[in-house]
A and B are shown apart, each in its own frame.
Chain A
Amino acid sequence: MNETQFGAFFPPISPLDPQSPEGSSLVVTRPQFLAPGSYPFSPGGQEAWGGQWLPPNLKDAIAGVMWTTRRIFSETQRRERRWNVALVAMRDKIDTLTHEVSGLRCEIQRLQQSRVYVVPLTTLAPSPFQMVQQIPVTIEGDGEDFTATFVEANVSASGETEADAIANFKDSLLSSYELLESLPPNQLGPLPTRQWDILQDVVKRTD
C-alpha cells in the first residue's frame, strides 16, 4: 500500500501545514512562544518532546491522558479515604451493637430464669409467736438467690434457696417485731411506725 492508496482513507497530516484542518487548529490553540518557527530547538518550528519529535496533537493527547490518570488516581484515593472512615465508623457501631446484644442476651437469660410468686405464710412455729392471719410473701429468685418479702410491712430477707429465704424471712419478721416492740413510739420514724402497726395486726406473742 503506497501513500496515495493510504491517503485515500487517511489524508496526510502535517503539523506544519497551516492549511490542513489539524495544522490550522494547532496554530490557533498553541501559545505564542510555541508558534511555528519560534521554538529554537525545533527544526522549522517542529517541537521535540523527550528527545523525539512528536506531532503536537499527540503531545496534547498524552498530556490529556496523564491529567485524566492523575484525576482518576486522586479520585480513587479520595474514595478510599471515605471508605476507610466509613469502615471505622461501621466497626465501632458493630462493636456497640455486639455489646448491647450480649447485654440483652444476659437480661433475657435472667428473665427466663427469674421467678416471682406469692406464698401464704401461715405459721411461725417453733417460735413463741403465732400468726393472727396469713400473710402473702412474695418470693423472687433466679436459681442463685431468693428474696422473700412481705411488701405491705416492708420486711424482707434473702436466702440461697426458697426455703432458706422463707426461714430467714421468718427470723427477720420476728426480729423486726421484737425490735419495734422494744422501742417507744416516739423513737420510731414514719416507716418503722407503719411496720409496727401492720406487724401488730398479723403477729402476736403466745407466751
Chain B
Amino acid sequence: MARQITKELAIKICKKLDGQDITKKNDVHDVCGIFFNDQLIAHFGIRRGSNKEAGHDHVPKELNVSTGFAKQLGMCTKQRDDYLRERKLLPQLPPAPQLPPP
C-alpha cells in the first residue's frame, strides 16, 4: 500500500468538498467535516505537522469512496456533486441521449 493520498491531497479534497474545520479544542488532529443539507455526511482527520507528504490513506475509507475516486477529487477531475452522487445523496444524472445515426 504505497502512499496514495498525501496530506496535501487530503487538504485539497477537504476544500473541494467544501469541508469545514470542525476541530475541537483537545483534538490531536484537524478534522474536516463534510455537510449536505445541514447534515454531517462524513468527516476525516488531517494529521498535523509540516510534512506535506505524510500518508493519509485513511481518507477514502472515511469518505466511503474508493482510493481512485478520492484521488480524482483531489486532482480536480471530480467535484463535490460527483461525490454526493457517489454517496447517493444526489440523484444520478440521466444517461446522455443517443444521437440518431447520420
Residues of chain B with a CB closer than 8 A to A140's CB: 1
Q: Are B62 and A183 in contact (CB under 8 A)?
A: no
Q: Are B58 and A179 in contact (CB under 8 A)?
A: no
Distance of A77 from chain B, by nearest CB (Å): 42
Given contacts A171-B27, A171-B29, A179-B24, contact A145 B43 (CB under 8 A): no
Q: Are A192 and B1 in contact (CB under 8 A)?
A: no
Residues of chain B with a CB closer than 8 A to A46's CB: none
Q: How far is the CA of A182 from the CA of B26 in the complex (A)?
A: 14
Given contacts A110-B2, A145-B55, A147-B58, contact A154 B64 (CB under 8 A): yes
Closest B residue to A189 by CB, please name it: B41
Q: Are A191 and B64 in contact (CB under 8 A)?
A: yes
Dominant secondary structure of chain B at its interface with chain A? loop
Judge if B75 is at the interface, Cβ distance under 8 Å.
Answer: no
Judge if B74 is at the interface, Cβ distance under 8 Å.
Answer: no
The interface-forming segment of A20-28, A92-100, A156-164 is A156-164
Q: Are A154 and B57 in contact (CB under 8 A)?
A: no
Given contacts A145-B3, A175-B29, contact A158 B47 (CB under 8 A): yes
Q: How far is the CA of A152 from the CA of B51 in the complex (A)?
A: 30
Encoded as 1 (CB less than 8 Å from any B CB) or 0, chain A from 161 to 178 comes to 000000010011001101
Q: Pick the contact of A187 from B27, B28, B38, B43 — CB < 8 Å?
A: B38
Q: CB within 8 Å of B: which of A22-59?
A: none
Query: How many CB-defined contacts (below 8 Å) exist between A and B?
Result: 91
Closest A residue to B42 by CB, please name it: A191
Q: Are B28 and A183 in contact (CB under 8 A)?
A: no
Q: How far is the CA of A188 from the CA of B42 in the complex (A)?
A: 9
Q: How far is the CA of A183 from the CA of B35 in the complex (A)?
A: 12
Instruction: Give the A-binding residues of B (Cβ under 8 A).
Output: 1-3, 22, 24, 27-29, 31, 33, 36, 38-45, 47, 54-58, 61-62, 64, 87, 89
List the 6 closest A-B pairs by CB distance, nearest first. Answer: A156-B58, A145-B55, A189-B41, A171-B28, A156-B61, A189-B39
Instruction: Give the B-binding residues of A (Cβ under 8 A).
Output: 110, 114, 140-142, 144-145, 147-149, 154-160, 168, 171-172, 175-176, 178-179, 182-183, 186-192
Can you offer 22 A-B residue contacts whose CB atoms are under 8 A?
A140-B1, A142-B1, A144-B55, A145-B55, A148-B58, A154-B62, A154-B64, A158-B54, A158-B58, A160-B54, A175-B28, A175-B29, A179-B24, A179-B31, A179-B43, A187-B40, A189-B42, A191-B41, A191-B42, A191-B64, A191-B87, A192-B41
